[in-house]
Each structure stands twice: as structure tokens, then as C-alpha cells.
Amino acid sequence: MTSYSNTIKADSCQQKTCRLLMLALTVLFVTGNSVFGVLNKVEAADSRSRTEANCTIGMVKGDAKADCQVPIPNGCIVAQFPGYPEPWADISKGGGTSCEFDEKHTDWKTSIVGSCQACTTEQCTGRFIVMFNCANNVPPANPGTPGQK
């Protein structure tokens, strides 16, 4: 009998622990969901004013160094990845080449130039992607009807 009553006490203790754990997880989920919901709304609002531009280089084996210029949209500035001081830019490449932003010809305000070295495989590609903040180009949320006061 004694061992049976110990088993019942252990089971009821586990049930209380389980209930407390479930309550804590529920509170954590609701609180976390609220906080992340607010953060997602802020992020969504910021993303409306961003755009990207890119340039792509295509080469075949034996082609020497190639350059391309990323166009800068009117009224936009190069964005910074949140939390980092560097320009929000990326390079993807394929084949036997190496690619980088040309530091000599890139000032990130008026000129952005990507450069890939000679192609050593059958085909090579380089793609230079830059994110821009165009907050000044976003129209008002409700411009109203023309002629309306």
C-alpha cells in the first residue's frame, strides 16, 4: 500500500509540473507573438521604401576581367543592413572566376562597379546586388482626390 500511495503522489506532482510548464509556455508564446508581431509590422513598413538594383556579368573561358555598373535609382541611397555600418550589397558568382566590388570606382553614392576576374571554366557569371533606401520616393499614404480640400 505504501508504494502505491507514493506512486499516486508522484503522478499528481508530475501533473502539477506539467500544468505549470504548459501555462509558462502559453504565456511565453502569447508574449513573444505580440512582440514579434510589432517587429514584423515595423519591418513591413520599412520594406516598402526599399528596392534593389543589380548588374550581371556573363563570360566564357578565356575572357579577361569584366566590369558592370549597378544602376542607382533616382532619389535613392544605398541602404545599410540593419545593425551593420556596411552597404547592403551581395555578390553571387558561378564558374571559375572571382568577383568583388571595385573599390577604385565605387563610392556607394554616385557609382557602384562590380568586377570579375578572368574566366577559367567553360562559363562564368557574376551578379552584383545592392539594396537601396528610397524613403523619399514613397508617395503619401492617402494623397486624396484631386481638387479635394
Same domain, 5 and 60: no
Q: Examine residue 142 and state whether it is found in any structural domain, yes or no.
A: no
With 90 as the cut, is the pLDDT of residue 17 above it? no
State the residue range of the domain holding 16: 1-48
Contact present, 103 and 86 (Cβ < 8 Å): no
Q: Percent of the chain having pLDDT more than 90? A: 54
Chain position carrying cell 506539467 = 18
Give the residue-averaged pLDDT of 69-85.
93
Same domain, 42 and 75: no
Same domain, 39 and 80: no
The reported pLDDT for the residue numbered 42 is: 45
Please state the domain count of the chain.
Answer: 2
Cα separation, 76 vs 49, in Å, equals 9
Highest-scoring range by mean pLDDT, 1-10, 29-38, 75-84:
75-84
Same domain, 61 and 132: yes
Same domain, 89 and 116: yes
Q: Examine residue 144 and state whether it is found in any structural domain, yes or no.
A: no
Q: What is the pLDDT of residues 79-135, one digit of tens each?
A: 998 899 999 999 999 999 999 999 999 999 999 999 999 999 999 999 999 999 998
With 90 as the cut, is the pLDDT of residue 139 above it? no
Q: Examine residue 143 and state whether it is found in any structural domain, yes or no.
A: no
Same domain, 44 and 54: no
The reported pLDDT for the residue numbered 38 is: 42
The reported pLDDT for the residue numbered 135 is: 80
Same domain, 21 and 64: no
Same domain, 56 and 119: yes
The reported pLDDT for the residue numbered 10 is: 47
31 contacts: CB under 8 Å, gap ≥ 6: none
Same domain, 59 and 126: yes
127 contacts: CB under 8 Å, gap ≥ 6: 54, 55, 56, 57, 91, 92, 93
Same domain, 33 and 82: no
End-of-domain residue from the set 29, 48, 67? 48
Same domain, 67 and 130: yes
Indicate the burial class of 62 (C-beta count within 10 angstroms; 0-12, 13-18, 19 or more): exposed
Q: Examine residue 132 and state whether it is found in any structural domain, yes or no.
A: yes
Summarize the chain as % helix, strand, coil (round to 5).
35, 30, 40
